[in-house]
Amino acid sequence: MIPSRLRFLSNEEIERIYTAGLEVLQTCGVKSFHDGLIELFDNSGLEVDKDKKIAKIDEGTVKESLKKAPKEVKLYTLDGKRSLDLSGDNVYFVPGSMGIKLIEGKKARTPTLKDAAEFVKLTETLENIDLNTAPLYPGDVPPIIFDRYRVYISLKYSNKPFWGGAFSDDGPVDMWRMIVAVLGDEEEAKKRPRWAMAACPSPPLKWSNTIAQNLIDAARRSVPVWFVSMPQTGATSPATIASAIVLHTAETLSGIVITQLVNPGAPVIYGGSPIAFDLKTGYVALGSVETTLISCGYAEIGKYLGLPTHGYVGCSDSKTVDAQAGLETGLNSAIAAAARINVIASAGMLESESGQSFEKLVIDNDILGQIRRLLSGINASEEALQLDIIKRVGAGGDYTKDSTALRAALKWFAREYLLPTVIDRKDRKAWEEDGSKDIVERARELMKKRLAEYEPPRIVTPDVDKQLISIIREAAKRYGVEAPEPP
Protein backbone atom coordinates (compact mmCIF):
# COMPACT_ATOMS: atom_id res chain seq x y z
CA MET A 1 0.00 0.00 0.00
CA ILE A 2 1.20 3.50 -0.86
CA PRO A 3 0.84 5.77 2.22
CA SER A 4 -1.97 8.34 2.11
CA ARG A 5 -1.14 12.00 1.67
CA LEU A 6 -0.50 13.83 4.93
CA ARG A 7 -2.90 16.74 5.44
CA PHE A 8 -3.05 19.58 7.94
CA LEU A 9 -6.19 21.35 6.67
CA SER A 10 -9.76 20.18 6.25
CA ASN A 11 -11.61 20.89 3.00
CA GLU A 12 -13.57 23.60 4.81
CA GLU A 13 -10.36 25.24 6.07
CA ILE A 14 -8.79 25.11 2.60
CA GLU A 15 -11.81 26.86 1.09
CA ARG A 16 -11.80 29.45 3.90
CA ILE A 17 -8.14 30.31 3.24
CA TYR A 18 -8.60 30.35 -0.54
CA THR A 19 -11.63 32.65 -0.22
CA ALA A 20 -9.65 34.94 2.09
CA GLY A 21 -6.87 35.11 -0.51
CA LEU A 22 -9.40 36.12 -3.16
CA GLU A 23 -10.72 38.83 -0.84
CA VAL A 24 -7.21 40.21 -0.33
CA LEU A 25 -6.73 40.49 -4.11
CA GLN A 26 -10.08 42.22 -4.56
CA THR A 27 -9.65 44.69 -1.69
CA CYS A 28 -5.88 45.29 -1.37
CA GLY A 29 -4.74 44.29 -4.84
CA VAL A 30 -1.10 44.02 -5.87
CA LYS A 31 1.46 46.78 -6.39
CA SER A 32 4.11 47.16 -9.09
CA PHE A 33 6.09 50.02 -10.58
CA HIS A 34 6.54 48.01 -13.78
CA ASP A 35 4.63 50.09 -16.34
CA GLY A 36 4.12 47.15 -18.67
CA LEU A 37 2.51 45.08 -15.92
CA ILE A 38 0.21 47.91 -14.85
CA GLU A 39 -0.75 48.39 -18.51
CA LEU A 40 -1.43 44.65 -18.83
CA PHE A 41 -3.77 44.79 -15.82
CA ASP A 42 -5.48 47.92 -17.15
CA ASN A 43 -5.99 46.51 -20.65
CA SER A 44 -7.50 43.38 -19.12
CA GLY A 45 -10.28 45.39 -17.50
CA LEU A 46 -9.02 45.21 -13.92
CA GLU A 47 -9.46 48.07 -11.48
CA VAL A 48 -6.15 49.94 -11.63
CA ASP A 49 -4.97 52.96 -9.64
CA LYS A 50 -2.24 54.30 -11.91
CA ASP A 51 -1.04 56.83 -9.35
CA LYS A 52 -0.57 54.26 -6.59
CA LYS A 53 0.46 51.55 -9.09
CA ILE A 54 -2.03 49.11 -7.58
CA ALA A 55 -4.27 46.68 -9.46
CA LYS A 56 -7.21 44.96 -7.79
CA ILE A 57 -7.91 41.50 -9.14
CA ASP A 58 -11.48 40.25 -9.07
CA GLU A 59 -12.54 36.68 -8.34
CA GLY A 60 -13.73 36.09 -11.90
CA THR A 61 -10.32 36.92 -13.36
CA VAL A 62 -8.61 34.59 -10.90
CA LYS A 63 -10.95 31.70 -11.65
CA GLU A 64 -10.67 32.22 -15.40
CA SER A 65 -6.87 32.22 -15.10
CA LEU A 66 -6.96 29.01 -13.07
CA LYS A 67 -9.05 27.35 -15.78
CA LYS A 68 -6.39 28.21 -18.37
CA ALA A 69 -3.36 27.12 -16.32
CA PRO A 70 -2.28 23.52 -17.11
CA LYS A 71 -2.85 21.01 -14.32
CA GLU A 72 0.12 18.94 -15.42
CA VAL A 73 3.68 20.16 -15.93
CA LYS A 74 6.47 17.92 -17.17
CA LEU A 75 10.16 18.77 -17.17
CA TYR A 76 12.55 16.85 -19.38
CA THR A 77 16.17 15.86 -19.08
CA LEU A 78 18.40 17.76 -21.46
CA ASP A 79 18.66 14.78 -23.81
CA GLY A 80 14.85 14.49 -23.79
CA LYS A 81 14.88 10.80 -22.87
CA ARG A 82 13.22 11.11 -19.45
CA SER A 83 10.62 13.37 -17.93
CA LEU A 84 9.50 14.36 -14.44
CA ASP A 85 5.74 14.67 -14.02
CA LEU A 86 5.25 17.39 -11.41
CA SER A 87 1.56 16.65 -10.87
CA GLY A 88 -0.47 14.42 -8.57
CA ASP A 89 1.38 12.83 -5.65
CA ASN A 90 4.78 12.59 -7.37
CA VAL A 91 7.69 13.89 -5.28
CA TYR A 92 11.05 15.12 -6.57
CA PHE A 93 14.06 16.70 -4.89
CA VAL A 94 16.33 19.60 -5.86
CA PRO A 95 19.17 21.41 -4.04
CA GLY A 96 18.21 24.54 -2.13
CA SER A 97 19.28 27.89 -3.55
CA MET A 98 20.88 30.41 -3.62
CA GLY A 99 23.95 29.86 -1.45
CA ILE A 100 25.98 33.05 -1.11
CA LYS A 101 28.30 31.14 1.25
CA LEU A 102 30.10 27.84 0.85
CA ILE A 103 30.21 26.09 4.22
CA GLU A 104 33.42 24.19 4.94
CA GLY A 105 33.56 22.73 8.44
CA LYS A 106 32.69 25.54 10.82
CA LYS A 107 33.86 28.24 8.42
CA ALA A 108 32.14 29.92 5.49
CA ARG A 109 33.66 31.54 2.42
CA THR A 110 32.44 33.17 -0.77
CA PRO A 111 32.00 30.56 -3.53
CA THR A 112 33.77 30.81 -6.87
CA LEU A 113 32.50 29.99 -10.34
CA LYS A 114 34.60 26.83 -10.20
CA ASP A 115 32.81 25.84 -6.97
CA ALA A 116 29.46 26.43 -8.68
CA ALA A 117 30.42 24.16 -11.57
CA GLU A 118 31.70 21.46 -9.19
CA PHE A 119 28.40 21.58 -7.31
CA VAL A 120 26.49 20.99 -10.54
CA LYS A 121 28.75 18.04 -11.34
CA LEU A 122 28.24 16.52 -7.90
CA THR A 123 24.47 16.98 -8.15
CA GLU A 124 24.53 15.13 -11.46
CA THR A 125 26.01 12.06 -9.73
CA LEU A 126 23.51 11.90 -6.85
CA GLU A 127 20.74 9.42 -7.55
CA ASN A 128 18.10 10.85 -5.18
CA ILE A 129 18.35 14.44 -6.42
CA ASP A 130 16.20 14.81 -9.50
CA LEU A 131 16.79 18.37 -10.71
CA ASN A 132 19.78 20.67 -10.93
CA THR A 133 19.71 24.31 -9.88
CA ALA A 134 23.36 25.51 -9.77
CA PRO A 135 22.73 26.74 -6.22
CA LEU A 136 26.01 28.54 -5.44
CA TYR A 137 26.25 32.29 -6.05
CA PRO A 138 29.91 32.95 -6.95
CA GLY A 139 31.71 36.08 -5.90
CA ASP A 140 33.97 36.18 -8.96
CA VAL A 141 31.17 36.77 -11.50
CA PRO A 142 29.34 40.11 -11.90
CA PRO A 143 25.90 39.51 -10.31
CA ILE A 144 24.04 41.05 -13.25
CA ILE A 145 25.20 38.28 -15.61
CA PHE A 146 25.47 35.30 -13.28
CA ASP A 147 22.10 33.96 -14.43
CA ARG A 148 23.70 33.25 -17.84
CA TYR A 149 26.62 31.42 -16.20
CA ARG A 150 24.14 29.50 -14.08
CA VAL A 151 22.46 28.14 -17.20
CA TYR A 152 25.80 27.56 -18.90
CA ILE A 153 27.25 25.31 -16.21
CA SER A 154 23.93 23.51 -15.88
CA LEU A 155 23.67 22.76 -19.59
CA LYS A 156 27.31 21.77 -19.90
CA TYR A 157 27.65 19.59 -16.81
CA SER A 158 24.19 18.15 -16.14
CA ASN A 159 21.50 16.21 -17.96
CA LYS A 160 18.96 16.83 -15.20
CA PRO A 161 16.21 19.43 -15.75
CA PHE A 162 17.30 22.94 -14.78
CA TRP A 163 15.40 24.63 -11.95
CA GLY A 164 16.40 28.25 -11.45
CA GLY A 165 15.63 31.94 -11.69
CA ALA A 166 17.22 35.02 -13.22
CA PHE A 167 19.02 37.99 -11.66
CA SER A 168 18.48 40.68 -14.29
CA ASP A 169 15.64 42.21 -16.29
CA ASP A 170 16.61 40.48 -19.53
CA GLY A 171 18.11 37.36 -17.96
CA PRO A 172 15.28 34.98 -18.99
CA VAL A 173 15.59 36.05 -22.62
CA ASP A 174 19.27 35.07 -22.75
CA MET A 175 18.68 31.95 -20.66
CA TRP A 176 16.01 30.91 -23.17
CA ARG A 177 18.34 31.61 -26.08
CA MET A 178 20.97 29.37 -24.50
CA ILE A 179 18.57 26.47 -24.02
CA VAL A 180 17.25 26.82 -27.57
CA ALA A 181 20.85 26.87 -28.85
CA VAL A 182 21.48 23.48 -27.22
CA LEU A 183 18.21 21.93 -28.39
CA GLY A 184 18.37 23.53 -31.83
CA ASP A 185 14.60 23.97 -31.89
CA GLU A 186 12.46 26.60 -30.15
CA GLU A 187 9.27 24.54 -30.47
CA GLU A 188 10.99 21.58 -28.81
CA ALA A 189 11.96 23.87 -25.92
CA LYS A 190 8.32 24.94 -25.53
CA LYS A 191 6.68 21.54 -25.93
CA ARG A 192 9.15 19.61 -23.77
CA PRO A 193 10.63 22.15 -21.35
CA ARG A 194 14.07 21.59 -19.83
CA TRP A 195 13.88 24.62 -17.54
CA ALA A 196 11.50 26.01 -14.92
CA MET A 197 12.00 29.60 -13.75
CA ALA A 198 11.50 31.12 -10.29
CA ALA A 199 9.35 34.24 -9.83
CA CYS A 200 9.43 35.78 -6.35
CA PRO A 201 6.89 38.45 -5.38
CA SER A 202 8.08 40.96 -2.78
CA PRO A 203 5.87 40.57 0.28
CA PRO A 204 3.44 41.95 0.97
CA LEU A 205 1.64 41.94 -2.39
CA LYS A 206 4.23 43.54 -4.64
CA TRP A 207 5.96 42.61 -7.90
CA SER A 208 9.36 44.25 -8.44
CA ASN A 209 10.29 45.59 -11.86
CA THR A 210 12.83 42.84 -12.48
CA ILE A 211 10.62 39.94 -11.41
CA ALA A 212 7.61 41.35 -13.26
CA GLN A 213 9.65 41.49 -16.47
CA ASN A 214 11.06 38.01 -15.85
CA LEU A 215 7.55 36.66 -15.35
CA ILE A 216 6.25 38.25 -18.53
CA ASP A 217 9.21 37.03 -20.60
CA ALA A 218 8.94 33.48 -19.25
CA ALA A 219 5.19 33.29 -19.84
CA ARG A 220 5.59 34.51 -23.43
CA ARG A 221 7.92 31.58 -24.10
CA SER A 222 5.86 28.99 -22.19
CA VAL A 223 8.67 28.48 -19.68
CA PRO A 224 7.14 26.83 -16.58
CA VAL A 225 7.19 29.33 -13.72
CA TRP A 226 7.40 28.34 -10.07
CA PHE A 227 6.21 31.07 -7.77
CA VAL A 228 8.15 31.75 -4.59
CA SER A 229 5.93 33.77 -2.27
CA MET A 230 7.91 34.44 0.92
CA PRO A 231 5.70 35.70 3.75
CA GLN A 232 7.70 36.13 6.96
CA THR A 233 5.47 35.78 10.00
CA GLY A 234 5.25 38.97 12.02
CA ALA A 235 7.41 40.93 9.55
CA THR A 236 6.02 40.78 5.99
CA SER A 237 2.81 39.00 7.01
CA PRO A 238 0.73 38.79 10.17
CA ALA A 239 2.07 36.44 12.82
CA THR A 240 -0.29 33.48 12.52
CA ILE A 241 0.42 30.48 10.33
CA ALA A 242 -2.99 30.71 8.66
CA SER A 243 -2.56 34.42 7.82
CA ALA A 244 0.80 33.71 6.17
CA ILE A 245 -0.93 31.10 4.00
CA VAL A 246 -3.62 33.66 3.09
CA LEU A 247 -0.99 36.19 1.99
CA HIS A 248 0.87 33.46 0.09
CA THR A 249 -2.39 32.50 -1.63
CA ALA A 250 -3.07 36.06 -2.76
CA GLU A 251 0.46 36.65 -4.05
CA THR A 252 0.65 33.34 -5.89
CA LEU A 253 -2.79 33.72 -7.46
CA SER A 254 -1.77 37.17 -8.70
CA GLY A 255 1.27 35.60 -10.38
CA ILE A 256 -0.91 32.98 -12.04
CA VAL A 257 -3.19 35.74 -13.34
CA ILE A 258 -0.20 37.57 -14.84
CA THR A 259 1.05 34.49 -16.70
CA GLN A 260 -2.39 33.69 -18.12
CA LEU A 261 -3.01 37.29 -19.21
CA VAL A 262 0.33 37.21 -21.05
CA ASN A 263 -0.07 33.73 -22.54
CA PRO A 264 -3.18 31.65 -21.78
CA GLY A 265 -2.08 28.11 -21.00
CA ALA A 266 1.39 29.10 -19.77
CA PRO A 267 2.57 26.44 -17.27
CA VAL A 268 2.79 27.38 -13.59
CA ILE A 269 3.89 25.70 -10.35
CA TYR A 270 2.38 26.66 -6.99
CA GLY A 271 5.53 27.15 -4.94
CA GLY A 272 6.93 29.20 -2.12
CA SER A 273 9.48 29.82 0.60
CA PRO A 274 7.67 31.09 3.70
CA ILE A 275 9.64 31.98 6.80
CA ALA A 276 8.69 31.60 10.45
CA PHE A 277 10.22 34.15 12.80
CA ASP A 278 12.08 33.26 16.00
CA LEU A 279 11.23 35.82 18.69
CA LYS A 280 14.01 34.51 20.94
CA THR A 281 16.83 35.32 18.50
CA GLY A 282 15.14 37.93 16.34
CA TYR A 283 16.18 35.85 13.33
CA VAL A 284 14.46 33.63 10.79
CA ALA A 285 13.69 29.96 11.48
CA LEU A 286 13.60 28.12 8.17
CA GLY A 287 14.34 24.81 9.89
CA SER A 288 11.34 25.13 12.20
CA VAL A 289 8.24 22.97 11.98
CA GLU A 290 6.20 26.19 11.81
CA THR A 291 7.85 27.06 8.50
CA THR A 292 7.03 23.54 7.32
CA LEU A 293 3.41 23.91 8.43
CA ILE A 294 3.05 27.07 6.35
CA SER A 295 4.58 25.30 3.34
CA CYS A 296 2.37 22.23 3.70
CA GLY A 297 -0.64 24.50 4.19
CA TYR A 298 -0.12 26.51 1.02
CA ALA A 299 0.68 23.30 -0.87
CA GLU A 300 -2.76 22.02 0.12
CA ILE A 301 -4.24 25.14 -1.49
CA GLY A 302 -2.22 24.39 -4.63
CA LYS A 303 -3.45 20.80 -4.70
CA TYR A 304 -7.02 21.99 -4.12
CA LEU A 305 -6.58 24.08 -7.28
CA GLY A 306 -5.15 21.05 -9.11
CA LEU A 307 -1.73 22.63 -9.71
CA PRO A 308 1.82 21.24 -9.34
CA THR A 309 3.41 22.31 -6.06
CA HIS A 310 6.86 23.26 -4.79
CA GLY A 311 8.37 24.19 -1.46
CA TYR A 312 11.63 25.22 0.16
CA VAL A 313 11.27 22.70 2.97
CA GLY A 314 14.10 21.05 4.89
CA CYS A 315 16.54 23.96 4.84
CA SER A 316 18.56 24.00 8.06
CA ASP A 317 19.36 26.99 10.24
CA SER A 318 22.56 25.30 11.46
CA LYS A 319 25.85 26.95 10.51
CA THR A 320 27.65 23.65 9.99
CA VAL A 321 26.92 20.04 9.04
CA ASP A 322 25.88 18.69 12.42
CA ALA A 323 23.06 16.87 14.21
CA GLN A 324 20.81 19.93 13.98
CA ALA A 325 21.28 20.04 10.21
CA GLY A 326 20.33 16.38 9.89
CA LEU A 327 17.37 16.74 12.24
CA GLU A 328 15.89 19.78 10.48
CA THR A 329 16.44 18.48 6.96
CA GLY A 330 15.31 14.93 7.70
CA LEU A 331 12.22 15.78 9.73
CA ASN A 332 10.90 18.62 7.59
CA SER A 333 11.70 17.00 4.23
CA ALA A 334 9.89 13.85 5.35
CA ILE A 335 6.83 15.87 6.37
CA ALA A 336 6.82 17.75 3.05
CA ALA A 337 7.20 14.53 1.09
CA ALA A 338 4.39 12.88 3.07
CA ALA A 339 2.27 15.93 2.18
CA ARG A 340 3.20 15.17 -1.45
CA ILE A 341 4.72 18.53 -2.30
CA ASN A 342 5.83 17.79 -5.85
CA VAL A 343 9.23 19.53 -5.80
CA ILE A 344 11.08 19.86 -2.50
CA ALA A 345 14.06 22.22 -2.46
CA SER A 346 16.58 22.09 0.39
CA ALA A 347 19.35 19.58 -0.31
CA GLY A 348 22.73 20.87 0.81
CA MET A 349 21.29 24.03 2.34
CA LEU A 350 22.57 25.51 5.62
CA GLU A 351 22.45 28.82 7.48
CA SER A 352 18.83 29.64 6.73
CA GLU A 353 18.99 29.45 2.94
CA SER A 354 22.23 31.43 2.65
CA GLY A 355 24.80 28.62 2.69
CA GLN A 356 25.49 25.45 0.74
CA SER A 357 27.72 22.50 1.58
CA PHE A 358 29.16 19.77 -0.63
CA GLU A 359 29.20 17.33 2.29
CA LYS A 360 25.63 18.08 3.30
CA LEU A 361 24.46 17.59 -0.28
CA VAL A 362 25.91 14.06 -0.18
CA ILE A 363 24.35 13.34 3.22
CA ASP A 364 21.01 14.74 2.11
CA ASN A 365 21.10 12.44 -0.88
CA ASP A 366 20.94 9.55 1.60
CA ILE A 367 18.23 11.26 3.67
CA LEU A 368 16.11 11.83 0.58
CA GLY A 369 16.63 8.24 -0.51
CA GLN A 370 15.24 7.06 2.83
CA ILE A 371 12.25 9.38 2.45
CA ARG A 372 11.61 8.16 -1.08
CA ARG A 373 11.68 4.57 0.20
CA LEU A 374 9.10 5.45 2.86
CA LEU A 375 6.80 6.92 0.21
CA SER A 376 6.86 3.68 -1.76
CA GLY A 377 5.12 1.96 1.15
CA ILE A 378 4.74 -1.76 1.85
CA ASN A 379 4.22 -4.41 -0.82
CA ALA A 380 1.65 -6.80 0.65
CA SER A 381 1.01 -8.79 -2.52
CA GLU A 382 0.58 -12.56 -2.41
CA GLU A 383 4.13 -12.96 -3.69
CA ALA A 384 5.52 -10.64 -1.02
CA LEU A 385 3.84 -12.57 1.80
CA GLN A 386 6.31 -15.42 1.09
CA LEU A 387 3.97 -18.05 2.55
CA ASP A 388 5.64 -20.80 0.55
CA ILE A 389 9.02 -19.92 2.12
CA ILE A 390 7.53 -19.69 5.62
CA LYS A 391 5.92 -23.13 5.22
CA ARG A 392 9.08 -24.57 3.66
CA VAL A 393 11.34 -23.51 6.55
CA GLY A 394 8.67 -24.21 9.16
CA ALA A 395 8.72 -23.83 12.93
CA GLY A 396 12.21 -23.71 14.39
CA GLY A 397 13.87 -23.75 10.96
CA ASP A 398 16.82 -21.70 9.73
CA TYR A 399 16.22 -19.33 6.79
CA THR A 400 19.96 -18.84 6.33
CA LYS A 401 20.49 -22.54 5.57
CA ASP A 402 17.66 -23.00 3.08
CA SER A 403 18.81 -22.38 -0.52
CA THR A 404 15.32 -21.43 -1.74
CA ALA A 405 14.88 -18.96 1.12
CA LEU A 406 18.33 -17.49 0.46
CA ARG A 407 17.62 -16.97 -3.25
CA ALA A 408 14.32 -15.32 -2.41
CA ALA A 409 16.00 -13.14 0.20
CA LEU A 410 18.58 -11.87 -2.28
CA LYS A 411 15.84 -11.01 -4.77
CA TRP A 412 13.70 -9.19 -2.22
CA PHE A 413 16.59 -7.36 -0.60
CA ALA A 414 17.37 -5.90 -4.02
CA ARG A 415 13.73 -4.91 -4.50
CA GLU A 416 12.76 -3.59 -1.09
CA TYR A 417 15.82 -2.40 0.78
CA LEU A 418 17.72 0.83 0.25
CA LEU A 419 21.50 0.73 0.56
CA PRO A 420 22.65 4.22 1.61
CA THR A 421 26.00 5.61 0.54
CA VAL A 422 27.31 7.35 3.68
CA ILE A 423 25.03 6.25 6.53
CA ASP A 424 27.03 3.96 8.84
CA ARG A 425 25.66 0.47 9.57
CA LYS A 426 28.89 -1.36 10.42
CA ASP A 427 29.61 -2.94 13.77
CA ARG A 428 32.01 -1.00 16.00
CA LYS A 429 35.04 -3.15 15.17
CA ALA A 430 34.62 -2.66 11.42
CA TRP A 431 33.92 1.06 11.92
CA GLU A 432 37.11 1.50 13.97
CA GLU A 433 39.17 -0.46 11.45
CA ASP A 434 37.89 1.91 8.76
CA GLY A 435 39.22 4.92 10.67
CA SER A 436 36.29 5.72 13.01
CA LYS A 437 35.03 8.26 10.48
CA ASP A 438 31.92 10.30 11.16
CA ILE A 439 29.29 10.93 8.49
CA VAL A 440 30.81 14.25 7.39
CA GLU A 441 34.18 12.60 6.76
CA ARG A 442 32.52 9.80 4.81
CA ALA A 443 30.53 12.34 2.81
CA ARG A 444 33.69 14.29 1.99
CA GLU A 445 35.40 11.13 0.77
CA LEU A 446 32.43 10.19 -1.41
CA MET A 447 32.21 13.74 -2.77
CA LYS A 448 35.85 13.61 -3.87
CA LYS A 449 35.36 10.16 -5.39
CA ARG A 450 32.24 11.18 -7.31
CA LEU A 451 33.89 14.32 -8.67
CA ALA A 452 37.01 12.38 -9.67
CA GLU A 453 34.89 9.83 -11.55
CA TYR A 454 32.43 12.37 -13.01
CA GLU A 455 31.77 12.14 -16.74
CA PRO A 456 29.98 15.07 -18.44
CA PRO A 457 26.84 14.29 -20.46
CA ARG A 458 28.48 15.80 -23.58
CA ILE A 459 25.20 17.09 -24.96
CA VAL A 460 26.67 20.56 -25.59
CA THR A 461 28.81 20.33 -28.73
CA PRO A 462 31.91 22.53 -29.22
CA ASP A 463 30.04 24.73 -31.72
CA VAL A 464 27.09 25.18 -29.37
CA ASP A 465 29.49 25.88 -26.51
CA LYS A 466 30.85 28.82 -28.52
CA GLN A 467 27.29 30.09 -29.03
CA LEU A 468 26.59 29.93 -25.30
CA ILE A 469 29.79 31.80 -24.44
CA SER A 470 28.93 34.39 -27.08
CA ILE A 471 25.53 35.01 -25.44
CA ILE A 472 27.27 35.50 -22.08
CA ARG A 473 29.78 37.95 -23.56
CA GLU A 474 27.04 39.89 -25.35
CA ALA A 475 25.26 40.37 -22.02
CA ALA A 476 28.49 41.43 -20.31
CA LYS A 477 29.09 44.01 -23.03
CA ARG A 478 25.55 45.40 -22.70
CA TYR A 479 26.04 45.84 -18.97
CA GLY A 480 29.62 47.08 -19.21
CA VAL A 481 31.08 44.32 -17.03
CA GLU A 482 33.83 41.74 -17.47
CA ALA A 483 32.83 38.19 -18.40
CA PRO A 484 35.10 35.64 -16.66
CA GLU A 485 36.14 32.61 -18.67
CA PRO A 486 33.49 29.89 -18.16
CA PRO A 487 34.70 26.73 -16.38
N- to C-terminal Cα distance for the chain? 47
Read off the pLDDT of residues 221-247 as tens digits, 9 standing for 90 and up. Answer: 999 999 999 999 999 999 999 999 999
Euclidean distance between CA atoms 191 and 80, whole angstroms? 11
Q: Which residues pair with 84 in a beta bridge?
A: 75
Q: Dihedral, CA atoms, 382, 387, 392, 394, nearest 10 degrees?
A: 170
Average pLDDT over every residue of 28-55: 98
**What letter does residue 69 receive in the DSSP assignment?**
S
| Ordered strands of the 92-95 beta sheet | 92-95, 343-347, 310-311
Angle 432-438-440 from CA coordinates, rounded to 5°: 150
Euclidean distance between CA atoms 329 and 359, whole angstroms? 14
Euclidean distance between CA atoms 134 and 148, whole angstroms? 11
| 107-109 vs 101-104, strand pairing mode | antiparallel
Euclidean distance between CA atoms 111 and 99, whole angstroms? 8
Question: What kind and span of H or E run contains 432?
Answer: helix 428-433
pLDDT at 50: 96
pLDDT at 3: 83
- Considering the four listed CATH numbers 3.20.20.480, 3.40.50.620, 1.20.120.530, 3.20.20.70, the one that applies to the domain covering 1-377+418-487 is 3.20.20.480
- pTM for this model (two decimals): 0.96
Q: What percent of the chain has pLDDT over 70?
A: 100
Supply the mean pLDDT for the chain. Answer: 97
Of 376, 344, 382, residue with least CA distance to 3? 376
Per-domain residue ranges for the chain?
A: 1-377+418-487, 382-416
Read off the pLDDT of residues 264-317 as tens digits, 9 standing for 90 and up. Answer: 999 999 999 999 988 889 899 999 999 999 999 999 999 999 999 999 999 999
Q: What percent of the chain has pLDDT over 90?
A: 97
Read off the pLDDT of residues 366-377 as tens digits, 9 standing for 90 and up. Answer: 999 999 999 999
Read off the pLDDT of residues 197-225 as tens digits, 9 standing for 90 and up. Answer: 999 999 999 999 999 999 999 999 999 99
Confidence of residue 164 (pLDDT cuts 50, 70, 90): very high
Read off the pLDDT of residues 313-367 as tens digits, 9 standing for 90 and up. Answer: 999 999 999 999 999 999 999 999 999 999 999 999 999 999 999 999 999 999 9
| Residue 191 three-state SS | helix
Give yes or no for residue 1 having a pLDDT over 90.
no
Sign of CA dihedral 347, 352, 357, 362: negative
Where are any strands of DSSP class E within 232-328?
Answer: 268-269, 277-278, 283-284, 310-311
